[in-house]
Amino acid sequence: MYQIVLTALFALALSVLTFAASMAEVPRSEMSPAILVAE
């Protein structure tokens, strides 16, 4: 059960980060390290 919750929260966090990045027009080169660290 915890794995499902953690997976959902992780997916939600990634979607929020992606949305914020797209709104701020941040280059993907700056976002990729953050995503790699998150994984």
- Whether 18 is in a domain gets the answer yes
- Whether 12 is in a domain gets the answer yes
pTM for the model stands at 0.50
- Whether 21 is in a domain gets the answer yes
pLDDT digits over 1-39, tens only?
A: 899 999 999 999 998 888 877 776 655 555 555 555 555
pLDDT at 36: 56
- Whether 36 is in a domain gets the answer no
- Whether 24 is in a domain gets the answer yes
- Whether 37 is in a domain gets the answer no
- Whether 39 is in a domain gets the answer no
Q: Which domain holds residue 19?
A: 1-30
pLDDT at 9: 94
pLDDT at 7: 94
Number of independent structural domains in the chain: 1
* Secondary structure of the chain as H, E, C letters: CHHHHHHHHHHHHHHHHHHHHHHHCCCHHHHHHHHHHHC
pLDDT at 12: 92
- Whether 38 is in a domain gets the answer no
